[in-house]
Each structure stands twice: as C-alpha cells, then as structure tokens.
Amino acid sequence: YSHHSAYESLIGNTPCILLPNLSEVVGRQIYVKMESWNPGGTGKDRAAACMIATAEASGLLPDPIKRGTEDFELTLHLHQGSFASADDGDSDMDLICEAMQHSITGGLVVEGTSGSTGIALAALAAVKGHACLVVLPDDQAGEKRVMLEVLGAVVHVVPTAAIANPNHYVNVASRLAARAASLGVQAVFINQFENLANFAVHFETTGPEIWRQCRPDTFVMSAGTGGTIAGVAKHLKENGKCRIVLVDPAGSVLYSKVEHGVAFASQQSERVLLRHRYDSIAEGIGLDRITKNMEQGLPFVDNAITVSDQEAVDMAHFILRHEGLLVGSSTAMNLVGAVRAALQLPSGSARVCTVICDSGQRHVTRFWNREFIHSRGLQWPRDGVGRIPECLQGVM
C-alpha cells in the first residue's frame, strides 16, 4: 500500500513482544503481534488500505484526491449538487444520496462489516476523498457505530440474519453498491470476506514481520474473514516448520472444518443459536461458511481449538492483572489458544506467537461490562476470589 497520508504511513510494522509473565507461568515463550497499534486500532487497517488501493488501481474507484493541486471545495459542491434530492420512501436511494454528499472524488466505498474494517475504511475514505457507506449488524458494540459516524461514514444498521438471507448485512452492502453503480456512481463493494487483497496484504506484510520479529514454532490465530491467519500461515509455512493453530469460538464452523473436514457447528443441529451467525460473545471472529480468504489458509492449518466465552473472559481479566493489557474478546480467545498450543511444545525455549487484534476500549459495553457478562449466564472474574482460566489451572 502507498504512504500518501499520516494514516497510511502508520499502518503495519507493529511491535511483536514477549509477554513476560504469561511466558513465565506457562514455561514457554509467548509472543504477541500488536495489531492493535495500527492507526485504526486493528490489523484491518492493512486489509482496508490494500483493498482500497486495489480498487483504485483497477479503476473501480476514482483516483484519490491530490492535495494541493485540486480545488476540493469546487469538486465537493459538484457532487453534492447531483445527490441533493433523495427519493422519498426509497431507503437505499436515501442512504446512497446521504453518503455521496461527502464524496469529493465521486467514489463510494461500500462495505458490510461487524465494525473494525469499517473504521479503517472510513478513515481511509476520508483522507482519499471517497464517500463511505457501512452496513452493520445490530449485535455489535455500540461504540463502533459511534466511531464510524465520527469518521464521516454513513451507517446503516440491520438485524442479524443468516448469510443465505438477502437481508444479511453483507448482502445488503452488495445490493447498495450495485444500486449506486446503476446510478452512475463509481461505487465499490469492498467484500472483505471474498476479496483476496485482504489475504495478500497479510501474506506480504504481517507474515514476514512476524517471522523477522520472533520466528515462532507455532502461530495461533482466530479467523474473522480468515485474511490474517491465511496470509500469515502461508508465509510462515513457506519459511520453515511453523505449526499453525486456528482458534474458533462456539457456533463457528471452522473448528469442525479443520478437525473433521466438514464445515458444521453443533449448534446448527441443536437449534440453540443465540444469534444467527454464531453463538458466542466474541466479536469479529467465527464464520458460518468458508470464505475465499479462509480457503487460502486452510491447507496450512494443522489443528483447531475451540474456546468458550467463559475462558475468554477469565483470560482477559488474567492478562490485565498479569501484563497490564486491556484486550478485546477475539484477543482473549487467541491467548487461550496460545497457552494451549504452547503446552504442547517442550518447555523452555519453544516460541508461540499470537495476535492482539484490538484493545478492550472497543468493548466497554459488552465484553468488559459486568452486567452484560452476567446476562449471558457467565461469571465476572472480579466477583469472587479470582478466576484462573481453565488452560492455566494445571500449570499455576
């Protein structure tokens, strides 16, 4: 990706550090790649920048504004004029018109996202002069929505639905992009789940960085789109003998795909899904299908581990107390997976690497909220004498 703004120049080259206290407890070295240090707070910055640059290079999006050489004001008014009057009662049209009020280039970035990718896309669209329209499922933390709006994106919240349903947030985004294109807008449906620029950027940047920084024996990661684990896994496998472990929340089909060759979640037969996609409080991870990005990584995944919500909560609190890091739900699951994988290796110098996906600051109303945790029938670790995550019970 290019470095035409401060935002873009801060993407990638994140620190990869040893967790001294967790490593001490486990008796193996546990490293974390700090993807939360990207400017948008997650590794999605890498994917978003690469997907936008690819769309610009192929002409799907207009070129970004060239600062200092163009009259922004004039162009802005030009585009505002043509989208000022929205059709009453046509909500798709209203959304497109509202978003296009903010387009300087005449380009429109559309995506269905559970949050983090939208935040990266919104910031990049702002600096490049494109409009941004984000479709969000209604089961995600409210602070993500607020952040998207602050960044200037138009946000459309839809009820959660299965991917086969035309009203699934990804399908709604696809429909909105097609509608905008039919109106003559240079609109692109980013489609992070199927867009292989996502996988490619992790293969080209995240994977090599991790190899240079800690040369892990095992790499452990959950999958949202699958872009990170697939790209990193391909690079690490090509470099040597690194084991790749996938971490999966309850209700996702990936564990069963890796361990049994069938994409299936037991909740599908028991009909106890709390929500349509998967049955976990983890945000941004778990899949109900095999995406193109995940497909790139499956041949390199050696085994999968499922992590319960309770163990993720316990781990998040443990890591705050032992390392001072406030982490989000997917990171907590990654850390449980890293401990389990580390315990499979000989004690001493064995090295496991996993990813700090985002900060707990993004999760204060759900994962880091005592009432919410109770509402899901889970225990809040600070209520009692202190809970130790199950994976550490034999070793402490």
For residues 74 and 229, is the Cβ–Cβ distance under 8 A?
Answer: no
Q: What angle do CA 316, 318, 319 make, to 5 degrees?
A: 65
Q: Considering the rule CB under 6 A, would residue 140 count as an interface residue with ligand PMP?
A: no
328 vs 389, beta carbon nearer ligand PMP? 328
Minimum distance from residue 335 beta carbon to ligand PMP (Å): 13
Structure token digits, residue 29: 């070295």
The whole-angstrom separation of Cα 207 and Cα 184 is 39
Q: Give the chain's length.
A: 396
Q: Which helix (H) or strand (E) holds 17?
A: strand 16-18
**252 is a contact residue toward ligand PMP (CB under 6 A):** no
116 touching ligand PMP, by CB under 6 A: yes
* Residues 266-285 contacting ligand PMP, CB under 6 A: 284-285
Paired with 353 in beta bridges are 31, 219
Question: Which residues partner with 32 through β-bridges?
Answer: 17, 354
- Give whichever of 217 and 283 is closer to ligand PMP, judged by the CB atom: 283
Among 330, 337, 342, 356, contact with ligand PMP (rule: CB under 6 A) = 330
CA angle 250, 314, 206 (to 5 degrees): 70
Residue indicated by tokens 């391909």: 234
Choose one: 19-27, 42-50, 88-96, 253-261; the region binding ligand PMP (CB under 6 A).
42-50
User: Which positions from 184 to 223 touch ligand PMP by CB under 6 A, shown as an x/- string?
Assistant: --------------------------------------xx
How far apart are CB 114 and ligand PMP at their closest, in Å?
9
Beta-carbon count within 10 A of 157 CB: 13
Torsion of CA 108, 114, 120, 126, to 10 degrees: 40
Min CB(275)–ligand PMP separation in Å = 17
Nearest to 72 by CA among 127, 145, 17: 127
Segment contacting ligand PMP by CB under 6 A, of 35-43, 73-81, 236-244, 310-318: 35-43
Q: Which of residues 337-376 bind ligand PMP (CB under 6 A)?
A: 357-358
Short-list 205, 207, 177, CA closest to 191: 177
Is there binding between residue 113 and ligand PMP (CB under 6 A)? Answer: no
Binding of residue 249 to ligand PMP (CB under 6 A) = no
Pick between residue 26 and residue 230 the one whose CB is nearest to ligand PMP.
230
Compose the 283-322 pattern: x for residues touching ligand PMP by CB under 6 A, - for all others: -xx-------------------------------------
Crossing angle for the helix pair 44-57 and 116-128, nearest 10 degrees?
50
Question: Is 228 among the residues that bind ligand PMP (CB under 6 A)?
Answer: yes
Given 103, 225, 280, 310, the residue binding ligand PMP (CB under 6 A):
225
Determine the 3-state secondary structure of 21 from DSSP. helix
Instruction: Output phi, psi for 378, to 5 deg.
Output: -105, 165
With CA atoms as reference, report the closest residue to 35 among 209, 230, 235, 295.
209
Among 43, 129, 137, 360, binds ligand PMP (CB under 6 A): 43
112, 227, 249, 286: which one contacts ligand PMP (CB under 6 A)? 227
Give yes or no for residue 328 binding ligand PMP (CB under 6 A): yes
Minimum distance between the CB of residue 98 and ligand PMP, rounded to whole angstroms?
27
State the Cα–Cα distance between residues 78 and 83, nearest whole angstrom. Answer: 9
- Which one of residues 39, 224, 286, 381 is an interface residue with ligand PMP (CB under 6 A)? 224
Nearer to ligand PMP among residue 225 and residue 252 (C-beta): 225
Q: Work out which of 28, 33, 44, 145 binds ligand PMP, going by CB under 6 A.
A: 44
Question: Which strands form 218-222's sheet, in the order they lie side by side?
Answer: 16-18, 29-34, 351-356, 218-222, 243-249, 303-307
- Which residues of the chain form contacts with ligand PMP (CB under 6 A)? 35, 42-44, 116, 222-229, 284-285, 328, 330, 357-358
